[in-house]
Structure 1
Amino acid sequence: MAMIALVSAASDGVTTTATALALSSRQSVLLAECDMSGSKLRHRLLRDIRLGGQILNGNIGLHKLAEAYWSSAAAGVQDLAPQVDAHLWPMDDSGRRLVLPGLTDPRQAASLTEVWPSLIEVLQMTDHTHQWDVIVDGGRLVWENGRLHPVLTPSPVLHQADVVLLVVRLADPASVYLASAAIEGLQDELGQHGNGARALGLLTLSSGSRREFSPREVEAKFEAEIMGSLAWDERAAAYLSAGGVPPRNLARSSLLRSARDVVGPLRAYAQRRRTNLDMRARSMSPAVLTQVRQLGMRRRGEGE
């Protein structure tokens, strides 16, 4: 269906936003918590959710995939999918919304360097083959020498995402100005190492305040497209962020209703971009170029 990654230039509710999108998807969905600063979900929303009578503990999650990867490699096994499957946790009782919980300690981030390519293959298989939406919580951006930090950001995942959304809180001037500074760097990063600068879009969070920036102001300032906007319902956001007792009519909250409105168009955009990129890649393949050259030679021969 689509692989959509969310990031922010500041601490702007990326995890809460990613969770809202995952819970609002009408498709089966996998939320990969790849924030290198550490997992928030495992200590909040997921702490009261049980699987087979068990609660989530430190033996499950992204950090354990490094150990699983090396064990599989030593045994000559290339497929990481079974190991990833063993580290998924339900987000609710629907059976079709799962999460890969994140790190228990930020110092575990370096252990994932060799794991990213295999994990990306699993995420793409979940998307392409099983037709699930894949939503990636990429956390806060960290830069080094003008590029995304290779350890402190999940840059390989961002490079392969169909869409990368920079989350911007319209009511917070710091969020807007820091995002403005990051947008050019992200466009360059995705243009040189990812799926193109057009993979980048904005996802705005609006509280309805009269003092917040307008979407038109933000688009003009960033020269980037707003691909969606969520209504920041404080009660719903507090539950998705902290867990506990869900508020009544959570599914009808403005946050989840606006998330439902956003997920479909994002998926459609991601699929269009993937189709265009696939067509471009096929048109530039050696076999196609050879056929084009042969056709050109044949036409020149006929002309003579």
Structure 2
Amino acid sequence: MSVMVVTGAHSCGVTVSSLALALSSPRVSLLVEADASQGSVRHGFQQGRWGWEVGLWNLAAAQLQDQLAEAFEAHLRPLDEAGNRWILPGLTDPMQAAALSGTWAPLAGLLQVMDQSAGYDVIVDAGRVVVEPGRLHPTLYPAPLLHRADLVLLVVRNTVTSVAQTVPVARALREELDRAGSGADALRVIMIGEESRGRGMASDAIARRLEAPVVAILPWDAATAHLFTVGPERAPKLGKMELVKQARKVCAQLQVDVQTRRLRLQMPPAPVSSPVVAGVLQRLAASRHHVPASGQEAPRG
């Protein structure tokens, strides 16, 4: 089980990578669309299945009423028919982001409990990194979600331009994690192999420039990216898609990385913070629409 935040210097590639990881996790998974500029899965991959009344923005009002856990449960939606993949849909308007400034931190704690007490792999699509002098932007970027994540996955294409534009972003993330998170060594790089035949930058060169290890390489899969961002014309066979197949291998590698890092840091399990949260977790685990047992592996689709 793990909590991993996916982000980038550009929005391009972050949502596709996040969705690929959430759909490929060996365990039950929850995708959280935390991009402050607004989410795209609702109208893209899910083709408008839910309206504006569902999603992240509703948690801001619930937090003010001390009902975050209940609202969190009420706004989860399935990504598959089997009930193994779930999503908290994102914002529908960038103007909503300001209302969430006081919600990110308690939501981060709830996601940590979903991981360590309910057995979910939590993937957070944090979108494009937004910075202001000296730190990550407190309103336009969900920085508190990074602070309690096992890994922060920085998506970069293997082009010279993409890497150059990502260098200051990687520096800002390292400084943020050192100052307020679990340490700069939580930062990892996912490389998108956009250029081939020796034209793109090699992974070791990218790791040196960004001062963070490249832990995964995902293929440039235009067909699957189009399906994830625009939506399928018919039910997709995800297991046959190259991006999904590679993402499944990446998930396995990342889980080893997470467990190794937890052992090294001797990170304690997240406590169940209240009877309300405990009740929510129990319903999520016991409901026939959710996974029946903590840590149970999800069947491959």
TM normalised by structure 1 equals 0.83
The answer (yes or no) to whether the contact 1:230–1:258 under 8 Å persists in 2 is yes
Instruction: Say which one has the larger Rg.
Output: 1
| Distance across 2 between alignment mates of 1:152 and 1:38 | 11
The answer (yes or no) to whether the contact 1:6–1:138 under 8 Å persists in 2 is yes
The answer (yes or no) to whether the contact 2:177–2:186 under 8 Å persists in 1 is yes
Counterpart among 203, 220, 232 of residue 190 in structure 2: 203
Return closer, same or farther for 1:120/1:248 CA change in 2, 3 Å cut-off: closer
User: Any residues of structure 2 matched to 1:239-278 within 5 Å, and which?
Assistant: 239-245=227-233, 249-278=237-266
Q: 2:18 corresponds to which residue? A: 18
AA partner of residue 253 (structure 1) = M
Q: Structure 1 unaligned segments of length 5 or more: list them.
A: 49-54, 282-304
Q: 2:150 corresponds to which residue? A: 162
SS at match of 1:220: helix
| Distance across 2 between alignment mates of 1:63 and 1:228 | 32
Return closer, same or farther for 1:246/1:223 CA change in 2, 3 Å cut-off: farther
Q: 1:34 corresponds to which residue? A: 34
User: Any residues of structure 2 matched to 1:186-201 within 5 Å, and which?
Assistant: 186-201=173-188
Report the alpha carbon displacement of residue 117 of structure 1 after superposing the two structures with TM.
2.5
AA partner of residue 64 (structure 1) = N
AA partner of residue 20 (structure 1) = A
Question: Does residue 44 of structure 2 align to residue 44 of structure 1?
Answer: yes
AA partner of residue 16 (structure 1) = V
Question: Does residue 57 of structure 2 align to residue 63 of structure 1?
Answer: yes
Question: Does residue 223 of structure 2 align to residue 235 of structure 1?
Answer: yes
Runs of 4+ off more than 6 Å: none
The answer (yes or no) to whether the contact 1:232–1:254 under 8 Å persists in 2 is no
Higher relative contact order (CA 8 A, sep 6+): 2
Q: 2:167 corresponds to which residue? A: 180
Return closer, same or farther for 1:263/1:279 CA change in 2, 3 Å cut-off: closer
Identity of aligned residues (%): 40
Return closer, same or farther for 1:248/1:60 CA change in 2, 3 Å cut-off: closer
Deviations 1:46-68 (A, max 9, x none): 226xxxxxx30111100011112
SS at match of 2:192: strand
| Distance across 1 between alignment mates of 2:56 and 2:143 | 15
Question: Does residue 73 of structure 2 align to residue 85 of structure 1?
Answer: yes
| Distance across 1 between alignment mates of 2:85 and 2:267 | 31
| Distance across 2 between alignment mates of 1:209 and 1:232 | 9
Question: Does residue 218 of structure 2 align to residue 224 of structure 1?
Answer: no
The answer (yes or no) to whether the contact 1:158–1:194 under 8 Å persists in 2 is yes
Moved more, 56-65 or 229-238: 229-238
Q: 1:285 corresponds to which residue? A: none
SS at match of 1:21: helix
Report the alpha carbon displacement of residue 208 of structure 1 after superposing the two structures with TM.
5.1
The answer (yes or no) to whether the contact 1:239–1:247 under 8 Å persists in 2 is no
Q: 2:273 corresponds to which residue? A: none
TM normalised by structure 2 equals 0.84
SS at match of 1:150: coil
Q: 1:4 corresponds to which residue? A: 4
SS at match of 2:233: coil
| Distance across 2 between alignment mates of 1:32 and 1:117 | 14
The answer (yes or no) to whether the contact 1:12–1:168 under 8 Å persists in 2 is no
The answer (yes or no) to whether the contact 1:208–1:231 under 8 Å persists in 2 is no
User: Which has the larger share of helix?
Assistant: 1
Q: 1:297 corresponds to which residue? A: none
AA partner of residue 32 (structure 1) = V
AA partner of residue 120 (structure 1) = A
SS at match of 2:86: strand
| Distance across 1 between alignment mates of 2:92 and 2:13 | 19
The answer (yes or no) to whether the contact 2:204–2:214 under 8 Å persists in 1 is no
| Distance across 2 between alignment mates of 1:117 and 1:99 | 19
Q: Structure 2 unaligned segments of length 5 or more: list them.
A: 270-301
- Tell me the matched-pair count: 268
